[in-house]
Amino acid sequence: MLYDPAWCDAMVTSICNDAYFRWFDSGDLPSLEALERIVEVCVRTPATLHWLPTREYAMVKAYITKHGRDSLPDNLIIRLSAMYPDRPVVVPASLRGVKNVLTSNVHTKGAVPAGSACGAPERGGRCGPCRDCWDVSVEAVSYPKH
Ligand code: SF4
């Protein structure tokens, strides 16, 4: 589906002018080409802020290597997801300082390892007014493990 020639057009139509869009409620980036197609959708939906969480650091690196450190569009934030709870993401050297590449952690009990604590659990699993994951000024967010 993602590789269907009509996929980008379909996504642009579906997102329309929504203010916020989250990629991959489940699953993750399957390939570099997938990320390239997502970027195309972002470029074609400039009124929408996009957030893409991923553990596929290598895929992001491949994109940046191919397209450049400033190549992600302004309206796409990629958050590198933590591999383990209570251990903040270590951004690979190749991705440090890359435009719009940020992080998200997971905490169990006690202190948040790094970043702004997600308040969705207190809102029945909804973001409510919070938009931290789409906010480029929020370097790290941290989700409670459930
Ligand atoms: S509530 Fe905020 S931090 Fe939590 S998922 Fe939503 S935008 Fe991200």
The answer as to whether 47 is a domain residue is yes
Taking CA atoms only, the protein residue closest to ligand 1 atom 7 is 131
pLDDT at 109: 81
The answer as to whether 1 is a domain residue is no
pTM of the model: 0.95
Domain range for 78: 7-144
CB-ligand 1 contact for 120 (6 Å cutoff): yes
Decide: residue 52, CB within 10 A, 0-12 exposed, 13-18 middle, 19+ buried: buried
> DSSP state, 121?
G
Confidence of residue 128 (pLDDT cuts 50, 70, 90): very high
The answer as to whether 2 is a domain residue is no
pLDDT at 103: 97
**What is the chain's length?**
146
CB-ligand 1 contact for 118 (6 Å cutoff): yes
Instruction: Check residues 118 and 110 and name the one with the higher pLDDT.
Output: 118
Average pLDDT (123-130) is 95
Sheet strands side by side (includes 116-117): 20-22, 49-54, 76-81, 101-107, 140-144, 116-117
Taking CA atoms only, the protein residue closest to ligand 1 atom 4 is 118
The answer as to whether 93 is a domain residue is yes
Structural domain total, the chain: 1
Tell me the best of 20, 22, 118 to mutate to test the pocket of ligand 1, counting ligand atoms within 8 Å of each CB and taking the most. Answer: 118
